[in-house]
Amino acid sequence: MNVEALSTYGYIAASILFISGLKMLSSPRTARRGNLLSAVGMLFAVVVTLAHHGLAYQWILMGAILGAAIGAVASYIVPMTNMPQMVAVFNGFGGLASLLVGWATYHMDRDVSRFTATATWLTVLIGGVTFSGSLVAYLKLSERFISGRPVRFRNQQWVNGLLLVVTLALGAAYIWAPASAPAYTALLAVIALSLVLGVLSVIPIGGADMPVIISLLNSYSGMAAAAAGFVIRNNVLIVAGALVGASGIILTAIMCKAMNRSLSNVLFSGFGAAGAAQGSEVKGEAHPISPEDAYLILEAARSVVIVPGYGMAVAQAQHAACELGEKLTRNGCEVKYAIHPVAGRMPGHMNVLLAEANVPYEQLAEPQDVNPLMSTVDVAMVIGANDVVNPAAREDPKSPIYGMPIINVDHARTVFVLKRSLAAGFAGVDNPLFFYPNTRMLFGDAKATLQALVAEFKAAAAA
């Protein structure tokens, strides 16, 4: 069997590992194994590529060691609260890698077919948008230099449209005669414009829409990789990129559905921008409660639904929440963790936190699973969530989040809200839930509050 056939079979095996790993990622129980399986598939694909093309192993090995070192250090020093920012950076560098592959391949050999030129143009365009857009997303999520809210200016959509038209025109000129001298200049101009487009397409997005854009940028990085696969004629890169691109688009669609909004509305509405409608004025008197009094209610509860949000991530309260859930379960209470698809700052943010705390998978639930039963729930405990439990989304037509499906915690017999203050959430929308007659506010650090509740259960058990 010749080397070409062996590499083909190797790529097929790597593709099978990718697909199997992606399938495992659909369940929290098998996600870690799926991630490892996909990583093994990528390592296998790299080894097969090196064996097939006889590339300089020393440079590839140096890059692998450097990348592994950076990844290992980042996994230890990056806190869970910064995981969305880390994902944004990873998406960006994935796009940058594809851009460099497309540019370097054409730089070394400009005598290419129009098909390859088209693939190269798509690679640098999507890769550039992904890179700069992801960096802006990182800055927005970390609120460094750029506000987390949408940034808009006059005629912004017209400017973006004009830049896109110019990029298409330059691409057409490059594809028509890729071997000509002006073609190289046109491609460089496309690279520059793609970076500008990435910035301008992400800055008008903010607030609760950021998880959607993170998912969309992940899809872009996959599409850029697939296009790069056509440039260098590597089948396994095409497969891997297509899988990432398709899964990212599917996840984006799921999240848009969870907010009852279209993707175009997310991209162009400027949700959360200054001066946007904030809904009807919210008035009322909050009802604070102490952890000691909250314990008495929890001790008698037979069913509790815990709703985590970004505030839980900030307080690093997932372990305390898990411990409280264990105490409630031992007390004969049925405990569920209701996770909204857009809770947190990235897709699956709450799932990752709860998995880190070893919360039993069978206790995780989606809004459609708990909402029909919420009126029978004794206590709904909201830990740092805001927008995903805001009744204004259901009741106030003036609210910017009106129509977004929420977790109906206000239907429970008692609602505990763990929050530092009555301030609005990431979307900048006030929450009337805080003033409902069945709501009790547990003010303070969420981790400290949960630990106080756990301490009450321990003291009662020891008595």
Q: Which two tokens stand for residue 103?
A: 């540019």
The pLDDT, as a whole number, for residue 268 is: 64
Evaluate whether residue 178 is within a structural domain. yes
Residue 277: pLDDT band (50, 70, 90) is very low
Same domain, 263 and 295: no
Most confident range (mean pLDDT) of 4-13, 264-273, 358-367 is 358-367
304-317 tens-digit pLDDT: 999 998 888 888 89
Q: What are the φ/ψ torsions at residue 288 (nearest 5 degrees)?
A: -70, 155
Residue 23: pLDDT band (50, 70, 90) is confident
Q: Which two tokens stand for residue 234?
A: 């590597």
From the candidates 387, 396, 410, 430, give the one annotated as an active-site residue: 387
Q: Higher model confidence: residue 309 or residue 83?
A: 309
Give the global pTM: 0.79
Evaluate whether residue 71 is within a structural domain. no
Same domain, 260 and 330: no
| 378 flagged as catalytic | no
Domain that holds residue 443: 291-462
Same domain, 296 and 227: no
Same domain, 254 and 351: no
Residue 208 has pLDDT above 80, yes or no: no
> What is the rounded distance in angstroms from the CA atom of residue 242 to the CA atom of residue 223?
6
Q: DSSP letters of 343-409?
A: -SSSTTHHHHHHHHTT--GGGEE-HHHHGGGGGG-SEEEEES--GGG-THHHH-TTSTTTT-----G
Most confident range (mean pLDDT) of 156-160, 347-351, 376-380 is 376-380
Structural domain count of the chain: 2
- Is residue 403 left, alpha or beta, with left meaning phi > 0 and alpha meaning psi from -120 to 50? left
Evaluate whether residue 53 is within a structural domain. no
Q: What are the φ/ψ torsions at residue 382 (nearest 5 degrees)?
A: -100, 115
Evaluate whether residue 215 is within a structural domain. yes
Tell me which amino acid residue 79 is: P
The pLDDT, as a whole number, for residue 33 is: 87
Q: DSSP assignment, residue 407?
A: -
Instruction: Name the nearest CA neighbour of 133 among 84, 195, 211, 87.
Output: 195
